[in-house]
Amino acid sequence: MEFTELEKIRFDKAQQMRAEGVEPYPTRTEVNSTTAEAIRKFEAAEAAGSQETLTAVLGGRLRAIRLMGKLAFAHIEDGSGRIQLFMRVNELGEAELQRFKELFDIGDFIQAGGEIIRTRTGEVSLLVREFKMLAKAITPLPAAKDEVVDGQVVRHATLADPETRYRQRYADLAVNEEVRKIFRTRAKVVSAIRDFLDEKGFLEVETPILQPIYGGAAAKPFVTFHNQLKQQIYLRISFELYLKRLTVGGFDRVYEIGRDFRNEGVSFKHNPEFTQLEFYWAYADYLQVMKLTEEMVAYVLDKVVGTRKVVYDGKELDFTPPWKRVNLRQSLIDRAEIDINEHPTAESLENAMQAMGMKFKPGEARGKLIGQLLEEYVEPTLVQPTFMYDYPRDISPLAKNKPGDPNTVERFEGFVNGMELCNAFTELNDPMEQEKRFLEMGREYEAEDEERHPMDEDYLRAMSYGMPPQGGFGMGIDRLVMVLTGQKNIREVLLFPHLRERED
C-alpha cells in the first residue's frame, strides 16, 4: 500500500497506538445496542418520567468531531442512524480526552460507552465514560464535513464524481446516506415481489445461469468455456426456456428472480448484467397476466412507497390499475399513419416508410422495421404506465398466435415514461409450431448470427411431452427500481455497475 500524505498521518496514529499497547483493530467489541435503539429507549423512559440512568455501549463510524478545550462533541453513525457523543474531561480525565483528540479521526470505527443524556441544546447524546478504537481508517472519507439539522443529514462538499462513486461504491455508500436509501428500497421491492407471488401460489425456483444453448430473448450472449467438459457455454440471456420446462414437469406457477447477461451496448437503461423477474402461470393467458402485472406493481408501490403515484423525470406517474391499454397496430395508425396489416412484407413496409419520409434501417426483417417504427413514433408517447399489446408474429417466436390472426401474437409490453418495463405473452405450446418458428427465426436473422434464436431441441422435446397453456412474464427489476427511486440512470440502482477497466 502506498500512502498519501494524509494517509501517512493516520497510519502513524495507528502505529502510535500499537506502541502504547493499544490494538487499533481489536478482535472483539463490547457493543450492546444500536444508536437508534439507545435513543428510542431513552426517549421512552423520558416520556414515562423515569429517573433511571440508561447506559449503553455503542459502535459506529466517526462522522463529525468538534473539539474544544476540555470537552469534545462527535457523531458516530451505525446502520441504524447517528448519535452524538459528549466527551468531557470530568468523566474521561485529561489524558483520555487528549488521546481521543490526538489519535481519533473522522472515518474511524469506534465504540463508546456511557449514559444516554440530553444536552443543554436538547440533543440525545452519549455522555462518554470510556471509548475504544475498533478500526482505524487510514484513507480519509471523501467528504469534507457534514452535520445534522433537525434530524436531517446536511452534507457539505461530499463525494459527487459519478466515476469515483461507482468505482468506489463503498466510499459512496459511506458518505451518501441517500445512496444507501436507494438500495434499501431496492431490497424492499424484491421482497415485496416475492411476497406477492408466493401469496398467489407461485413457486420460486433457480435455473441454470451457465447454459449450453442460450435462448428466450433476442440478444447477444457472453460466451465462456468449461475446461474439463471441453464445452462451450453461454451465460443466460433469459430464464424463459428453463422455466417453461418446469411447467411441463407439473409446476403450474413458477418464478425466478435472478441475473441475466447480455453482451451488448451499455446505456442509461442497459447494464451487461441485470436483474430479471420471470414468471409462468399455467392455464392463464396474456390478458390475465396483464391484470396480475398491474396488481403486482400496485402491491409493490403500496408496500415500498406507500402511495401509487411517483414523480419521475418531472412527471407524476400513476400506477393505479388499470393501466392504459394500447393496441400496437392502432397505435401505429394513430402515430405513424401506417397500417401494418396493409404491409405484409418487409418490402411493402419499407416502401410505405420511404414514401412518408420515415427513419429506418433498410434491409431489415418486417418485424424489426415495426420495432423501429414503435421506438420512433409510439414508445416515447407512453409516459403513464401503459400496456401495448398484439405484436407481430415474426419478432415473437415464443408467443402464441391470436386466434384467427396468423400474423399477430398474444403479447404485450408494459411501458413507463417511454421505457420498456416488462414483456409478456400467451406462451406457444405447440411443439410443431415452435419448431417452425425457430426455423423461421434462423432464416430471418441469418445476417446477424448471434441474435437469432438457436434451435433448442431439448426444449422442443419438453414441449412435445405436453406443455400446459400458460401466460409468461418478464420484468427488469432494475428499471422498476429506477422509477420508484427517481433515478434516471440504471447505474444508480446497481451497487457495482459495470465500468470499463482502468489501468491505474
Q: Which of residues 112-131 bind RNA (CB under 7 A)?
A: 119-123, 125
Q: Counting contacts by CB under 7 A, is residue 451 touching RNA?
A: yes
Output 248 or 365, the one with its CB closest to RNA.
365
- Residue 490's nearest CA partner among 265, 295, 308, 305 is 265
Measured torsion, CA atoms of residues 346, 351, 353, 357, in degrees rounded to the nearest 10 = 150
H or E segment and range at residue 231:
strand 231-235
95 contacts RNA (rule: CB under 7 A): no
Site string for RNA, 237-276 (x = CB under 7 A): -------------------------x-xx-xx-x------
- Contact between 147 and RNA by CB under 7 A: the answer reads yes
Residue 361 near RNA by CB under 7 A: yes
Distance CA 413, CA 222 (A): 25
Q: How far is the CB of 207 from RNA (least distance, A)?
A: 18
Q: Which is nearer to RNA, 123 or 440 (CB)?
A: 123
Q: How far apart are CA 367 and CA 16, in angstroms?
A: 71
Residue number, 59 or 397, with CB nearest to RNA: 397
The alpha carbon of residue 245 and the mean position of all alpha carbons in its chain are separated, in whole angstroms, by: 27
E strand or H helix at 211: strand 210-211
Q: Is 166 in the site for RNA (CB under 7 A)?
A: yes
Query: Does 90 participate in binding RNA (rule CB under 7 A)?
Result: yes
447 binds RNA (CB under 7 A): no
Site for RNA in 376-395 (CB under 7 A): 379
Mark out the alpha helices in 375-474 (DSSP H runs).
431-444, 457-464
- The residue (of 68 and 439) whose beta carbon lies closer to RNA is 68
Question: Is 32 or 489 the residue whose CB approaches RNA more closely?
Answer: 489
When asked if residue 160 is in the footprint of RNA (CB under 7 A), the reply is yes
Q: Which three cell numbers stand for residue 250?
A: 407439473
* For RNA, the closer CB: 231 or 330: 330
Cβ–Cβ under 8 Å, residues 212 and 230 = no
Residue with smaller CB distance to RNA, 67 or 187: 67
User: In which residue are the cell numbers 393505479 written?
Assistant: 320
- Report 21-50 residues binding RNA (CB under 7 A): none
Nearest distance from C-beta of residue 8 to RNA, angstroms: 9
Q: What is the footprint of RNA within residues 462-481 (CB under 7 A)? A: 476
Q: Which of residues 49-78 bind RNA (CB under 7 A)?
A: 64-71, 73, 75
> Does residue number 230 form part of the binding site for RNA (CB under 7 A)?
no
Q: Which residues pair with 290 in a beta bridge?
A: none
Q: Does 86 bind RNA (CB under 7 A)?
A: yes
Cβ–Cβ under 8 Å, residues 236 and 275: no
Restricted to residues 316-355, the positions that interact with RNA (CB under 7 A) are none
Out of 3, 30, 44, 144, which residue is the one contacting RNA (CB under 7 A)?
Answer: 144
Beta carbon nearer to RNA, 29 or 381: 381
Q: Is 282 in the site for RNA (CB under 7 A)?
A: no
DSSP codes of every residue in 77-132:
EETTEEEEEEEEHHHH-HHHHHHHHHH--TT-EEEEEEEEEE-TTS-EEEEEEEEE
Q: What span, in angstroms and rounded, lies between the C-alpha atoms of 280 and 201?
A: 12
* Host H or E run for residue 10: helix 5-19
